[in-house]
A and B are shown apart, each in its own frame.
Chain A
Amino acid sequence: MMKKSKRSFLKVAGIAAMGLGASSAINFASSDAQVSTHKKKAKNKEALSAHRWGMVIDTNKITHEIVENIVEACHKEHNVPDFNHEVDTKKYPKTRAVNHKQEIKWIWEEHFHYAFPDKEDEFLAERFHDLPFLVVCNHCKNAPCTKACPTQATFKREDGIVIMDYHRCIGCRFCMAACPFGARSFNFRDPRPFIEDTVPQFPTRTKGVVEKCNFCAERLALGKQPHCVEASHGAIVVGDLENPESEIRELLSEHYTIRRKQSLGTEPSVYYIM
C-alpha cells in the first residue's frame, strides 16, 4: 500500500479547493453575461409611467350613454366575447348553447347598492338609486388575487397595475374567489366564436383562463390613455397616485371620493367622486 504524506494530501486538497473556487467564478461570469443580455430590452420611449397607477371616476359626469360607449370601447378593443353575439355556424359548427351566467366582462355598469354594499344608508339620497356606477378591476394596492394565484399568473407590476400573464394561468379560479369585487371572469369556453370583429392589436383569450381589466397596459406602453378614459368625455381620469402634483391627486384633494369595500383593506386604486 502506498503511504501518503500529510504534505502531499494538503497539496491535493489545495488544488481541489482551487477547482471549486473556479467553478463558482465561472458561474459568476455567466450570470454577468445574463445581466448584459437584459440590457437589450427597454421600454418604449413614448410609454406613460407612474409609481402607482390609479383612476378617478366622476359620477356626476357619467350617464348611461357614456357607460355604454365605455363598455363597448373596452370590450371591443380587448376582444372580450359577447355571448349575445350570433355565432357564425359555418366557421364554428360545433358551438354549444350559451349559458349567460358565464358572461365575461372587464368593465360594466352597477347599481350603487351592489357597488358599495357597505355604504348603503337607510335614507340614501334619491339620485344614487338610478345613477350608473362604472365598476372595474380596482388594481388594489394589497391585491388579494395575486396572493391567491398559485402560479403567479396574476401579479402586481412595479407601476401598481394588477395584470395577468394568460400563458401561466391554469384556470384554478382561486383569484376569482379571492377578489371581493367580482372583477374577474373565467373562460368556460372558447371565446372566439363570440367575438364579432377580432381586433388584431390584442390577442384573444383561450378556454380555461381567467381574464380581467389590464388598465390598458398595451396602450400606456404606446403613450396613449386607456380606452375607457378616451370614451368617457372627461369623466374618467387616470394618473399617478403617488405623485402629489398629478392631475389625479389634484382631483382627489378637491373632491369627496369613495372607494369600493374599503373596510376589507385591499386599498383599491379606483376612486369615485360623489
Chain B
Amino acid sequence: MNKSIIITGLLIFVLAVLSPFWFNFITTTEAAPEPELLGKAKDAEKCVLDKYDMRANHMSLLDEWRDSVVRDADRQYKAANGNMFNMSLSTGEKSCLGCHEDKTKFCDKCHTYTSVDPYCWECHTNPKDLAQGD
C-alpha cells in the first residue's frame, strides 16, 4: 500500500521538477530574434568592435563613451578597424543610430525579447520618431 503511494508521489514530484523541460517540449518556442542590419550598417559590415565583442559588451562601451564625452570632452573614438566614430547614441551620421537607422528593428528587437528595458530613450531621442511626430 505504502509503496504505491510513495511511487506515485515520487512520479508527481519528478514531473513537477522537470516541468520546464516538458513544458518546452510540448510548446513551440521562438528562436531568439536577430537584430536586423539595414542601410549603412549592412554595408559597413563591421561595427566599432567585433561582432561578438559588440554583442556582449555594447553596454559597457556606451558607458565608457558617456564618461568620455561628458567628463573629458573626448568625442571621437577610433575603432579597431581604424574607422572614426562619434561617441554619441543618436546624434549625427557617425553615431550609433546614424548607422543603425531603425531602432525598433535593431535595439528593441533583442531588448524586448530578453525583457531588457534600458532607460536610454527617456532622454535620448530617436531621430526617426521625431521626424514622424511632426
Contact = CB atoms under 8 A, between A and B. Distances in A.
A42 B78 CA distance: 8
A203 B124 contact: yes
Interface string A157-169: 1110001011100
Contact of A44 (B66, B76, B79, B127): B76
Contact of B76 (A42, A91, A202, A217): A42
A44 B67 CA distance: 16
Interface centre among A41, A43, A47, A157 (most CB of B within 10 A): A41
A197 B127 CA distance: 12
Given A198-B130, A206-B122, A217-B73, 10 more contacts: A41-B77, A44-B75, A44-B76, A155-B71, A159-B73, A163-B70, A197-B134, A200-B125, A203-B90, A203-B124
Interface in B70-127: 70-79, 87, 90-92, 119, 122-125, 127
Interface of B: 66-68, 70-79, 87, 90-92, 119, 122-125, 127, 130, 133-134
B71 A165 contact: yes
A184 interface: no
A203 B123 contact: yes
B118 to A, nearest CB: 11
A206 B119 contact: yes
Q: Which 3 A-B pairs have the closest CB atoms?
A: A41-B74, A206-B122, A203-B123
Q: Residue among B78, B79, B90, B125 with the most chain A CB within 10 A?
A: B125
A198 B129 CA distance: 10
A203 B75 contact: no
A206 B125 contact: no
B75 A221 contact: yes
Contacts of B74: 41-43
B123 A166 contact: yes
A201 interface: yes
A266 interface: no
A185 interface: no
A81 B127 CA distance: 18
A137 B5 CA distance: 78
B58 to A, nearest CB: 16
Chain A CB within 10 A, most for which of B73, B75, B78 = B73
Contacts of B71: 155, 157, 165
Nearest to B127: A200
Contacts of B134: 197
A204 B68 contact: no
A6 interface: no
B75 A43 contact: yes
Contact of A41 (B68, B92, B122): B68
Contacts of B123: 166, 203-206
Contacts of B75: 43-44, 47, 221
Contact of A157 (B67, B73, B77, B90): B73
Nearest to A218: B91
Contacts of A42: 74, 76, 78
A40 interface: yes
Contacts of B73: 43, 47, 157-159, 217, 221
Contacts of A159: 73
Nearest to A47: B73
26 contacts: A41-B77, A41-B78, A42-B74, A42-B78, A43-B75, A43-B76, A44-B75, A155-B71, A157-B71, A158-B73, A159-B73, A165-B71, A167-B66, A167-B70, A197-B134, A198-B125, A198-B133, A200-B90, A200-B125, A202-B91, A203-B90, A203-B125, A204-B125, A206-B123, A217-B73, A221-B75
